[in-house]
Structure 1
Amino acid sequence: MEPAVYILASKRNGTLYVDVTSNLPQRIAQHKAGIVDGFTKKYGVHRLVWYECLPTMLEAIAAEKKLKKWRRAWKIALIEKENPYWNDLEV
């Protein structure tokens, strides 16, 4: 398990959700199964469109805070740079 910051989307150019986790595969499975109550469940945001693994949880949290301050257009550009078709990524 390694810390990661990730972006979920409801669909291409849809609702975005940024978060951090210490276990990305488990966390994504929870989102997809609807186990996690809150924003992602309410708005159907469960497509993993971008993620970055980092060496420590402190670095992952710092990256998440930075990414949350970004404008939406910057987040979309980041996603499309590595995942131009907004595919649901495997972890």
Structure 2
Amino acid sequence: MKEGYTYILSNKNRTVLYVGATGNLKSRMELHIEGKASKFTKRYNVNELLYFESFNNYQEAFVREKQIKNWKSVWKWNLVKSQNQELKNLYLELKDLM
């Protein structure tokens, strides 16, 4: 089975959150950075990776994405901060490892 990722992005000022799911986190992040992933992320410059989870298959990642999208904003921020208290852009650290 193809592995999958659920991820949360934000903009530079940390005023917007975006939740997504993908089978290839590196290529999806590159699309977000280039402004080619979605109209929303392009419009609000949402391209910094704050949180991600990996799954054994894409379907699990998709289900998790839908679950998190239904959460209140404060719950999403709590999830991000539980793993990334400093709200660092994780992609900068991970891009060379992927």
Structure 2 letter corresponding to 1:33? E
Cα deviation for residue 36 of structure 1 reads: 2.5
Q: Residue 90 of structure 2: SS of its match in structure 1?
A: coil
Report the counterpart of residue 37 of structure 2 in structure 1. Answer: 36
For each residue in 1:30-63, what CA deviation from the matched residue of structure 2 results, as whole angstroms up to 9, or x when unmatched? 1111222400000110010000010111111110
Runs of 4+ displaced beyond 6 Å: none
Quote the sequence identity (%): 35
- Give the TM-score of the pair, scaled to structure 1: 0.92
SS in 1 for 2:89: coil
1:11 match: secondary structure: coil
Distance in 2 (alpha carbons) for counterparts of 1:78 and 1:12: 18
Gaps of 5+ in 1: none
Distance between the aligned counterparts of 2:38 and 2:51, measured in 1?
A: 21
* TM-score, L = length of structure 2: 0.86
| CA distance in 1 between partners of 2:14 and 2:75 (Å) | 12
The equivalences for 1:1-91 within 5 A come to 2-11=3-12, 13-90=14-91, 91=94
Aligned length: 91
- Aligned-partner SS, 1:25: helix
| Alpha-carbon offset, residue 2 of structure 1 | 2.6
Contact kept, 8 Å, 1:12 with 1:86, in 2: the verdict is no
Amino acid of the residue matched to residue 17 of structure 1? Y
2:59 aligned partner, one-letter code: L
Structure 2: tracts of 5 or more residues without a match: none
